[in-house]
Chains A and B, each alone.
Chain A
Amino acid sequence: MVSGKRIWSDFLVFSRGYLRNKFGLFFGLIFPVILILIFGAIFSGNSSGTITVYTQNQDTGPFPPPQADVASQFVSALNGTLPDGTRISDTWPIRVELVDASENFTQYLADHSASDGILIPDGFSAKYVEAQMVNVTVYGNPTSSTSGIVSGTVNGVANLFNLERFQGSPVISVSSSTVNTEQTQYVDFLIPGLIGFSILVSPMFSLVNISSEYKKTKLFKQLSLTPLTKMEWLASKVLWYIVLTTVSFLLMVTVGVLAFGAHVTLTVWLIPFLVLGPMLFASLGMLVGTVTKNPETAGVIGNIVTFPMMFLAGTFFPISIMPQYLQSIAHVLPLYYIVEGLNNVMVYANYNGAIIDLAVVGVITVIIFAAAVKLFKWRED
């Protein structure tokens, strides 16, 4: 009964029309990439160029003669300038932002959502002059791409000072301490979120629009006069949005990795999400378009269904930062399981969790697809 050939020819006509419509192409492919660029740029800090590092110099004196304030010289070196005033390099990777010695430094880092910080202890200069061991603490987040650069730079400067006076023996040592700020994982987390966003938005809005418009312009009636069946029609749309979502996925991952050094795991586990997701939301869009009376109502209902998912399902923000009652709402949104599943696969490599998400998505998809085909009418009673 179901004919692959008819699905294919409907797919060809639809995809050709889609590709010829620049507006659709923009929203399907370019828009999610733009979102990654915007959100990535806003939240990932100085991912390209100089990294700003909060630094607290607790050594406020008194300073021993004759070297006086070694701590300030160390800070200056962290900024790329040697005590004699020469620049170490033109492309120095970090810029020090001094924090007042009276501040609680770890609290300050947390309050400023900073993933990197340097602490120079009290008595630093005196100990250096007396060749006593002194420790500089570098705060960082192992998942942040900037932390490695900062810690490498601080180690380099410490070695420079050790060489200068002690032939390399480690008077100044560097220890690292971990800070846990949400923002440091933002880009890694943003990519699965925005992939979820594009899985939702493109097929959903498109199918709401198409199915209500085709009903109004009687294009469905016309198609009903051909051997094409409702299920074949929907199947070809699903097929197209799987293709579009996959291309969009690859674009977003490429941009995320190249522009923001995002860490993502690519495995075959992603495939079921990239197949079921578009199928779910294309069907849901068609369901909305088909049970509403006109394109205007369909648009409104489509928005009512889509917007809560867009913001509450963990696309732009992790749901863990939301209040409990919003988290409860998130758990009834189908997109939540897609985004969580993508996070489980791409970020946490938690495949047991992904299987549960996949099962939930699979069941919802089958129900919605069947309901869309069943309730959708080509012709009128």
Chain B
Amino acid sequence: MDGARKDMIPIEVSSLKKYYGDIKAVDSVSFTVDEGEIFGLLGPNGAGKTTSIEIMEGLRKRDEGDVKVLGLDPWKDGYKLHKKIGVIPQEFTFFEKTSPREAIIYYADLFGVKVDPDEILREVLLEDSAKVMFDNLSGGQKQKTGLALALVNTPELLFLDEPTTGLDPNARRAIWEVIRGLKAKGKTIILTTHYLDEAQQLSDRVAIMNLGRIAAIGTVDEIIAQNGSGERLDIHGSKELADYIKANTDLQVDYRRGRISIQLKQKIDALAALAAAEQSKLDWGEIHTRRDSLDDVFVKLVSGELDEHGEIIAASKTNNLNSKTED
């Protein structure tokens, strides 16, 4: 990026609101994204991630609030803005009978820029499929094509809306590799995802979104420090044991998939928990203490875990936004 722009904050969002009828899809969201960082918007489906990112891209009109992207109003100055940004929309798709190489040349013509298609293909690790028709590409290769197209106009800022959703672990890791490479080149990247590991692996800072609001924002460590409960004691055991400990101590006990997790307000709480476990006469296995992870904080903030598709499981009643909002 050139020196003159050094002081500009790539993205400034303040008090952003968007309604779909009575539903508040985005409700007073504010944040900034700094130059050269990867900023992750993490949350379940319906949290307002895609609506927010589409407003920043200039694809949707906001109802209230202020949004500046590279100093421009994305809705009013969309045409100007689009020449400076790169975007992979959610579920990226392209003309079926066009190869990635042809797609890059097409985009270069549209943007009126000269590019070396092979260099871009190399950058997104897609040289091997350069001439394969889009409808014959795998899910990961399709996303890489999207990434390649987002890079054609050498953008300063990239928007990646759920770039790895639905991909197998290898393909996801390959996309992460590409994203890390882009960061190394100094690009500013905003990324939405419902994969915690993805947010944790890639992002410098994360905003956890739920029900249209930002529930927590900062580096992963900051979020854990602000929202975590310090130390935990984990015991491998049954739901029955978890219930017994809960009933016989005044500790907060969570149970998830064979793991009983007990929040320790002070170290001595661990003894109380173990005493209760012993008293129960039920089987229990491995024990250890640990700090809260992003998982723990996330579950607490969105009141549930997410399944593979980003839907909340074991959710509280209020968690599902109207299904009409699509992110």
Docked-complex contact B89 and A218, CB < 8 angstroms:
yes
- Which of B58-66, B171-179, B184-192, B279-287 touches A? B58-66
Docked-complex contact A227 and B92, CB < 8 angstroms:
no
| A222 surroundings in chain B (CB, below 8 A) | 87, 89, 92-94
Q: Please tell me if A380 contacts chain B, counting CB pairs below 8 Å.
A: yes
| B94 surroundings in chain A (CB, below 8 A) | 219, 222
Q: Please tell me if A225 contacts chain B, counting CB pairs below 8 Å.
A: yes
Closest B residue to A18 by CB, please name it. B97
| A225 surroundings in chain B (CB, below 8 A) | 57, 59, 82, 85, 87, 89
Please tell me which one of the listed residues A18, A227, A380 contacts residue B79 in the complex, with CB atoms under 8 A apart: A227
- Which of A6-14, A166-174, A306-314, A332-340 touches B? A6-14
Q: How far is the CA of A5 from the CA of B105 in the complex (A)?
A: 13
Q: Please tell me if B110 contacts chain A, counting CB pairs below 8 Å.
A: yes
Please tell me which one of the listed residues A9, A14, A16, A227 contacts residue B83 in the complex, with CB atoms under 8 A apart: A227
Chain A, 216-255, CB within 8 A of any chain B CB? 217-219, 221-222, 224-228
| A324 surroundings in chain B (CB, below 8 A) | none
Docked-complex contact B112 and A13, CB < 8 angstroms:
no
Docked-complex contact A221 and B89, CB < 8 angstroms:
yes
Chain A, 21-62, CB within 8 A of any chain B CB? 21
Q: Please tell me if B133 contacts chain A, counting CB pairs below 8 Å.
A: yes
Q: Please tell me if A165 contacts chain B, counting CB pairs below 8 Å.
A: no
Q: Can you list 17 A-B pairs, Cβ within 8 angstroms, ordered by A? A: A5-B109, A5-B112, A9-B106, A10-B106, A13-B106, A16-B98, A18-B97, A21-B96, A218-B91, A218-B93, A221-B89, A222-B89, A222-B94, A225-B82, A226-B111, A379-B58, A380-B59
Chain A, 326-381, CB within 8 A of any chain B CB? 379-381
Q: How many residues of chain A are within 8 Å of chain B by beta carbon?
A: 26
Q: Please tell me if A272 contacts chain B, counting CB pairs below 8 Å.
A: no
Chain A, 176-217, CB within 8 A of any chain B CB? 217
Q: How far is the CA of A225 from the CA of B102 in the complex (A)?
A: 18
Closest B residue to A217 by CB, please name it. B93
Please tell me which one of the listed residues A18, A227, A381 contacts residue B82 in the complex, with CB atoms under 8 A apart: A227
Q: How far is the CA of A18 from the CA of B111 in the complex (A)?
A: 23
Q: How far is the CA of A264 from the CA of B94 in the complex (A)?
A: 43
Chain A, 118-141, CB within 8 A of any chain B CB? none
Q: How far is the CA of A224 from the CA of B78 in the complex (A)?
A: 9
Q: How far is the CA of A154 from the CA of B128 in the complex (A)?
A: 74
Q: Lowest 10 CB-CB distances: which A-B pairs, in order?
A: A9-B109, A17-B97, A20-B97, A226-B110, A379-B59, A217-B93, A381-B61, A13-B106, A225-B82, A228-B110
| B59 surroundings in chain A (CB, below 8 A) | 221, 224-225, 379-380
| B78 surroundings in chain A (CB, below 8 A) | 224, 379
| A380 surroundings in chain B (CB, below 8 A) | 59-61
| B111 surroundings in chain A (CB, below 8 A) | 226-227
| A20 surroundings in chain B (CB, below 8 A) | 97, 133
CB distance from B67 to the nearest CB of A (A): 15
Docked-complex contact B110 and A9, CB < 8 angstroms:
yes
Docked-complex contact A16 and B60, CB < 8 angstroms:
no
| A5 surroundings in chain B (CB, below 8 A) | 109, 112
Residues of A at the B interface (CB closer than 8 Å) are 5-6, 8-10, 12-14, 16-18, 20-21, 217-219, 221-222, 224-228, 379-381
CB distance from B288 to the nearest CB of A (A): 46
| A14 surroundings in chain B (CB, below 8 A) | 95
Please tell me which one of the listed residues A6, A221, A381 contacts residue B110 in the complex, with CB atoms under 8 A apart: A6
Residues of B at the A interface (CB closer than 8 Å) are 57-61, 78-79, 82-83, 85, 87, 89-98, 102-103, 105-107, 109-112, 133
CB distance from A26 to the nearest CB of B (A): 15
CB distance from B117 to the nearest CB of A (A): 14
CB distance from A298 to the nearest CB of B (A): 18
Closest B residue to A9 by CB, please name it. B109
| B97 surroundings in chain A (CB, below 8 A) | 16-18, 20-21
| B93 surroundings in chain A (CB, below 8 A) | 217-219, 222
> Which of the listed residues B58, B87, B91, B95 has the most CB atoms from chain A within 10 Å of its own CB?
B95
Closest B residue to A380 by CB, please name it. B60
Docked-complex contact A17 and B106, CB < 8 angstroms:
no
Docked-complex contact A227 and B98, CB < 8 angstroms:
no
Docked-complex contact A13 and B89, CB < 8 angstroms:
no
| A18 surroundings in chain B (CB, below 8 A) | 97
CB distance from A28 to the nearest CB of B (A): 14
| B133 surroundings in chain A (CB, below 8 A) | 20
| A224 surroundings in chain B (CB, below 8 A) | 59, 78, 82
| B90 surroundings in chain A (CB, below 8 A) | 218
Please tell me which one of the listed residues B58, B82, B87, B98 contacts residue A13 in the complex, with CB atoms under 8 A apart: B98
| A17 surroundings in chain B (CB, below 8 A) | 95-98
Given contacts A379-B60, A380-B59, A380-B60, contact A226 B107 (CB under 8 A): yes
| B82 surroundings in chain A (CB, below 8 A) | 224-227
| B112 surroundings in chain A (CB, below 8 A) | 5, 227
> Which of the listed residues A16, A218, A224, A227 has the most CB atoms from chain B within 10 Å of its own CB?
A227
Given contacts A227-B110, A227-B112, A381-B60, contact A13 B92 (CB under 8 A): no
Docked-complex contact A6 and B109, CB < 8 angstroms:
yes
Q: How far is the CA of A330 from the CA of B57 in the complex (A)?
A: 47
CB distance from B97 to the nearest CB of A (A): 4
Closest B residue to A223 by CB, please name it. B110
CB distance from B223 to the nearest CB of A (A): 31
| A21 surroundings in chain B (CB, below 8 A) | 96-97
